[in-house]
Amino acid sequence: MSAPKVQLLLTGNELMTGDIVDSNSAMMAQVLKDIGLGINRKVTVADDLALLVSEITYMASTSDILIINGGLGPTVDDLTAQALALAIEEELSQHPQALTHLTNWCQQRGAELNGPNLKQAILPKNCQIIANKNGSAVGFSVRYNQCDIYCTPGVPHELETMLIEQIIPAISADLPSELITDVTRLQIFGLGESSLQKIINEQLPQWPTTIDLGFRAGMPLLEVKLTTNTKKGLALKSIWQKKLANVLGDHLIAEIQEKPKSLAEHLLIQLQQHNLKVTTAESCTGGLIASKLTKVSGSSTNFEAGFVTYSNEMKTAMLDVPSDLLEQYGAVSEQVVVAMARGSLVKSAADITIAVSGIAGPNGGTEEKPVGTVWLAWGSINNIKTQCLLLPYKRVKFQEFVAAIGLDLLRRYQQNITSIPNYIIERSFTEQ
């Protein structure tokens, strides 16, 4: 028995106008691949009832599984339920389970259940509800013409939770048992996609064809996925995974079990284990590192304060950076960033710190210190390390990278890793 044919139907005017780039279908492809399924065909249309009805009718007749994404919202241009009802010749009616969900959703938020919201409970009769933890729109599914049709919300995190927790388990329960799939995902920081591909080509040229290697460039972590669909691949996997881990060295952050963790989470877990507190002294990242740490729930155990010292005066006022250092060396200098690090440790009584001062651009660069220059200082009061980097990114991406590198340097410090990360080898900068 062969794998079922899967098709996707995406709906939304915003997908047709180029206002947004569709990332949902790539995500759906990734999670379907985890259970050994590929997507056969994908159609995207605007919010147009006649077009939707004809697409659904045709796609349901040429696939085993049809996933419809988008068009579940409360506004008049959300047409999925109506189109599906017409396509499968079923009436629309108020679904009690969907109504309960909407009522609870509004109640929890102290909001009135209004007409537009109520529309989200009007669904094809006899459909199965797919719960939505994260939004007002429930998903729903019907079986029609030997095709399982799943209707899902367009909001990415609502879709993702629904897929992983409900749709994928439902689909895989129906899969023929001889289909096997084994997926391992690795989190990497400090190696780009093309560097990594080159390293693998050179150092692991015999990589077995039965283990599919996929890359997913995230910001800032890169994800590498080893997928195998054969017994032979499964047998070979652990040895090749070990070889790959060897080659990655300290750039390998973790093997992802369930939900991938951020750099800040990895760091906070270590700090928790050692009962240590961290602080931040930020100039060019303007609070981004502190904000990444405090996104993590429970971070208050290991983070008490952060200093956003954007101007020279405030570096002195908040962190006691001597003003003569600022005058003599400038704000973007080893001397100042070390003083910021020291000041933040003294003022916060934290155990370790990360201090950054750089030129995010687009203005403010000079010949000696061009846009993209950043000084970092990190460590504990008796052991402060420093590094200057030149990062070839525009403002927002520059800030994201400095924040990520800052967190990674603390992770390495905390784990006593002495090898030099790739981003220092590649981006190390000596002022002109």
Span 133-172, contacts to a copy of itself by CB under 8 A? 136, 155
Q: What's the min distance (Å) between Cβ of 98 and a copy of itself? A: 15
Q: What's the min distance (Å) between Cβ of 216 and a copy of itself? A: 5
Question: Residues 27-30: contacts with CB within 8 Å, 24+ apart?
Answer: 27/156, 27/159, 27/160, 27/163, 28/67, 28/69, 28/159, 28/163, 30/216, 30/225
Strands 122-124 and 182-188: unpaired
String of contacts with a copy of itself for each residue 107-136, x by CB under 8 A: -xxxx--xxxx------------------x
Q: Which two tokens stand for residue 48?
A: 């147009």
String of contacts with a copy of itself for each residue 220-259, x by CB under 8 A: -----x----------------------------------
Q: What's the min distance (Å) between Cβ of 18 and a copy of itself? A: 3
> Given the rule CB under 8 A, which of 33-41, 80-88, 267-275, 409-417 is the region that contacts a copy of itself?
33-41
Residues near 169 by beta carbon (within 8 Å), at least 6 away in sequence = none
- Neighbouring CB atoms inside 10 A of 143's CB total 13
Whichever of 153 and 379 has its CB closer to a copy of itself, that residue is 153
Distance CA 298, CA 318 (A): 26
Query: Which contiguous run of DSSP H or E holds residue 390?
Result: strand 383-390
- Neighbouring CB atoms inside 10 A of 45's CB total 19
Residues near 244 by beta carbon (within 8 Å), at least 6 away in sequence = 186, 200, 204, 224, 226
> Given the rule CB under 8 A, which of 82-90, 124-132, 230-238, 300-308 is the region that contacts a copy of itself?
300-308
Number of shown-chain residues binding a copy of itself (CB under 8 A): 98
Q: What is the dihedral of CA 325, 396, 371, 194, to 10 degrees?
A: 120
Helix (H, G, I), strand (E, B) or coil at 294: helix
Does residue 216 touch a copy of itself according to CB under 8 A? Answer: yes
Q: What's the min distance (Å) between Cβ of 309 and a copy of itself? A: 6
Using the rule CB under 8 A, which residue among 3, 22, 175, 322 binds a copy of itself?
22
Bond preceding residue 124 cis, omega within 30 of 0? no
Using the rule CB under 8 A, which residue among 290, 337, 352, 374 binds a copy of itself?
290
Whichever of 42 and 243 has its CB closer to a copy of itself, that residue is 42
Q: What's the min distance (Å) between Cβ of 224 and a copy of itself? A: 11
Distance CA 81, CA 72 (A): 7
Q: What's the min distance (Å) between Cβ of 123 and a copy of itself? A: 17
> Given the rule CB under 8 A, which of 87-95, 174-182, 212-220, 379-387 is the region that contacts a copy of itself?
212-220
Any idea how long the chain is? Answer: 432
Residue 50 phi/psi, 5° resolution?
A: -60, -40
Q: What's the min distance (Å) between Cβ of 138 and a copy of itself? A: 15
Distance CA 406, CA 377 (A): 9
Whichever of 232 and 295 has its CB closer to a copy of itself, that residue is 295
- 9 burial via Cβ count (<10 Å: 0-12, 13-18, 19+): buried
Does residue 370 touch a copy of itself according to CB under 8 A? Answer: no
Whichever of 175 and 199 has its CB closer to a copy of itself, that residue is 199
Applying the rule CB under 8 A, the residues between 390 and 409 that interact with a copy of itself are 390, 392, 395-396, 399
Does residue 44 touch a copy of itself according to CB under 8 A? Answer: yes
Using the rule CB under 8 A, which residue among 57, 291, 380, 386 binds a copy of itself?
291
- 124 burial via Cβ count (<10 Å: 0-12, 13-18, 19+): buried
Whichever of 308 and 417 has its CB closer to a copy of itself, that residue is 308
Does residue 217 touch a copy of itself according to CB under 8 A? Answer: yes
> Given the rule CB under 8 A, which of 34-42, 79-87, 93-101, 163-171 is the region that contacts a copy of itself?
34-42
Using the rule CB under 8 A, which residue among 3, 16, 92, 269 binds a copy of itself?
16
Distance CA 254, CA 258 (A): 11
Distance CA 286, CA 410 (A): 18
Whichever of 49 and 126 has its CB closer to a copy of itself, that residue is 49
Q: Decide: 222 and 264 in contact? Cβ < 8 Å.
A: no
> Given the rule CB under 8 A, which of 64-72, 73-81, 92-100, 333-341 is the region that contacts a copy of itself?
73-81
Applying the rule CB under 8 A, the residues between 183 and 202 that interact with a copy of itself are 193-195, 197-198, 201
